[in-house]
Structure formats: C-alpha cells, structure tokens
Amino acid sequence: MHELSNLSLWHATMSADEWGAGRPALDADLDVDVAIVGGGYTGLWTAYYLKQHDPALRVVVLEANVVGFGASGRNGGWCSALLPMGMDSIARSSSREEAMRLQAAMHDTVDEVARVVATEGIECDLQKGGYLGLDRNGAQLQRSREHVAHMQSYGFADADYRVLSAAEAAERCGAANVLGGTYTPHCAAVHPARLARGLARVVERLGVVVHEHTPVVEIAPRRARTHLGTVTARVVVRATEAFTPSLAGLQREVAPVYSLMIATEPLPSGFWQRAGLADRATFNDGRHMIVYGQRTADDRIAFGGRGARYHWGSAMKPQYDRNEKVHELIHRTLLELFPYLGDAAITHRWGGAVAATRDWWCHATFDRATGLASAGGYVGDGVGTTNLSGRTLADLITGTDSDLTSLPWVGHGSRRWEPEPFRFIGINTMVHLPAGADRHEQRHGTPSRWREAIIDRLTGH
C-alpha cells in the first residue's frame, strides 16, 4: 500500500503501477522555457497543451508533494461545465453574448477531456452521464425552474438544460421525496486521482520533466525559487490553487475553503436497481448547502459537501481534512437521500481545500512583460475548468490567436481578501448562511429571501 493511500478513496483504490515509483525532487538550479508551479490539473493540462503547440519547448512541473496530492486527486469526480461565477456576473463584465460563449466553451471542455482521455489511453473510469439536480421541496423546485429558464434566456436549449418531471427525475435517480429535477448532459464522472496520475505520465512521455517533493516558496518574474534550487524560465505559471497563500506575497490572493467527502462500500445490485444512476450521472439536490455525489465505477457512492469552517490565516493542515461532525452530517444527508442504504458501511472519509477568490471568479492570465501566468479560483468547479485553463494558457504563452484567448475570464483580476479577522468572520458567515437557509425551507416550505440575497451578493451572482 502506498504511503499516501489514506488521502482519499481515490488514492486508496489506485494500484502500485498507477502510483509508480515516484519522481525525483529538484537537485540543482535549472533553466527552461516554461516552469509550472503545481502538479495538479491546471499545471498538467497546461504542460500537455504547450507540448501540443511546440514539442521542442523545455517544460518543467514543480510539485510540492506528489502529483494529484491536492484537490485534483481528492475531489468529487465531476468533470462538469459548471463555473463558480454566474452568467449575469460574466455578462456584466462583458456582454450576454460573451457569457454564453464562455459557457459554451465549458460545454465543449467536457468533451475535450473525454477526447484526450481516450486518445492518450488514460484509465480513469470516465463516463459522460450528465448532471442530475434533484428537487425535494417546493422552494428547490421553484429555483430549478428559474435556473433553467435563466440559462435558456441566454440562448441555450433543452438539449443543454432541461426541467424534469417528478417521474422523469425519479426514473434517473431513486432518491427519496423527489418532486422534480433538472438535467444537463455536460458532465462526466471520473476517478480524479487516476486522471491526474495518468495525465502526468502522458506529459512525461511528451518530454515534460516533473519534479515532486519540490515546494516553491517564491514566484517572481522569470523565476521560481525553491530551497532545492532556483528555476529560471521565460514563463512561470502559477497553478497552485488552494495552496497559493503559502507563497510569498500571496497570502490574501485566495481563501482555502474545505470540502469533505465520504464513500460507501461497494453496494449490491439490489440497491442500484432502486437507486438507478445506471449511466453514472453526477447528482445533488437543490439545497443551498452544496452537496455532490457520483456512482463510482466499482458501485460505491462517493458523496461530499461543504460546511467545514475556514481556518484563521488561510491555514491548511492535514487534520483539517477530517472533521467528525461534518462527516457525520454528510452521512446523514446521504441517508436522507437514500434511506434504504441502511447500515451500508462508510469505508472512506477525507477532505481537502479548494480556492475561493474574493469575487468568486476563476481566471486565466498571462503578462508577457513579466513572463508570469496563472490560472485558478475554481471554488470546487475545477475538474473541467482546468482543461480550459490549460488550453487557454498554452495559447496565450505561445502567442496563438484563438477563440479561447478572448473569453471574458481571460485577464480577470479579483481583489484580495480582507486581512484577519475580517476574512475569518466573513468566510465563516458564508459557511453558515446556506445551512440556515435550508433549515428555514424545511420548517416553513418557503425560501429565506434575506439569506439568499446575502449569499448571492457574497458569491457575486
């Protein structure tokens, strides 16, 4: 068993061959064309598409731990077209047409990930079963219908976003008390750690050098400094997501927000005959407190949710990956959705942090004058978005004029988070508001308008 197998279900279910023998740390100063800081999806996709543009480019990836150690290896396995910022927010920054163009690019991204996975032979249990949103009370039902109408007002059709009747939703997923739902085909379930590790092997075959156990402590124009050596490069890409505050001068760039998960034992065919999810559609319900689930390729339910507190000073520690109270809440929520799970064993509990920017926007940026590039701020919607980041950064860095380089998130700058204690107070207020809104709906059957307004204001929707 690998020493990091306890990080998550995903890490625990990888074979010795998938883990491989490990990669050496940097052992001397280095000069390359492009240095990528971070061995997660953003960094690996960027390396992959740079090599598609120019196989001769000297590209190095510097990873503080091992490839797929962070959110890229621990997430819920939704390769979706979701973006953290809403369509109206994008439209306000550009236009309605540009907002639709960015969302359409995300639709295409799900298929692009599937294409590369098939072309490169990456075994990561990818299945494009779409995303199913379940409505289990009247307020959720109303929000779902408003959401679909909103997306269709931008020009999308039923083929992209559609409302499901109670019977249609229940046929796809046999959860309890389903009153209706929504469906979009633009999502695939994946084994996230296998995708990360497989992608690393692909870029190495293309000539990219990956150094693990090489934490970067400072990024500067044309330089990434570690305690093991300094890498000089024409371009330095920051792809550090929730770990960004550990870099000098970037403590308030993003806030690490924890999301925790559980996984059941493999479930018998009788359960799945009732639960459905035959095409492994990713699923959640319409509560404000974010939850997310998938049927894994080995017939478990992997299920997660928010609700864990933000830690003072953007601290990230291994003990924060497990929170008994939050994990029990996630388990109760899963049993509420599927009461007939009964006493099925929970075999894995884990967590990790995603990166939230102050305005809930993600970005892809490149400054040719300094050679500095970055992408991130996905707030948990990064499995698909990182691929679009990688393609976009590769086009920007190589000077390729494409439809991607003019999308409205390119060059976006989010203002920094407030210093403590304001950051601590504000983010933990955001953590508790959704739970309060959900309790109000359960008790009264109507939305908590003032809570919803604050949530929308804080998240930029």
Q: What whole-number distance in Å separates Cα of residue 383 and Cα of residue 188?
A: 10
Question: Among positive and negative, which fits the CA dihedral 47, 50, 54, 57?
Answer: negative
CA distances, 187 to each of 72, 101, 418, 438 (Å): 16, 18, 34, 26
Q: What whole-number distance in Å separates Cα of residue 286 and Cα of residue 279?
A: 21
Q: Which CATH class is domain 130-188+256-358+424-458?
A: alpha beta
Q: What is the pLDDT of residues 380-425, one digit of tens each?
A: 999 999 999 999 999 999 999 999 999 999 999 999 999 999 999 9
Token duo for residue 69: 């150690």
Q: Which CATH class is domain 16-129+189-254+359-417?
A: alpha beta
Q: Note every long-range contact of 326-333, with CB atoms under 8 Å and residues 24 or more positions apart, other chains counting.
A: 326/260, 326/351, 327/260, 327/262, 329/305, 330/260, 330/261, 330/262, 330/291, 330/303, 330/304, 330/305, 331/262, 333/291, 333/303, 333/305
pLDDT at 454: 72
For residue 33, give the amino acid letter: D
Could you say which residues of the chain have pLDDT below 70? 457-461
pLDDT at 453: 78
Could you tell me the residue ranges of all domains in the chain?
16-129+189-254+359-417, 130-188+256-358+424-458
Whether this prediction's pTM lies above 0.85 is answered by yes
Question: Among positive and negative, which fits the CA dihedral 59, 60, 66, 70?
Answer: negative
> In terms of Cα–Cα distance, which of 15, 23, 55 is closest to 39?
23
> Contact 236/371 with Cβ under 8 angstroms?
yes
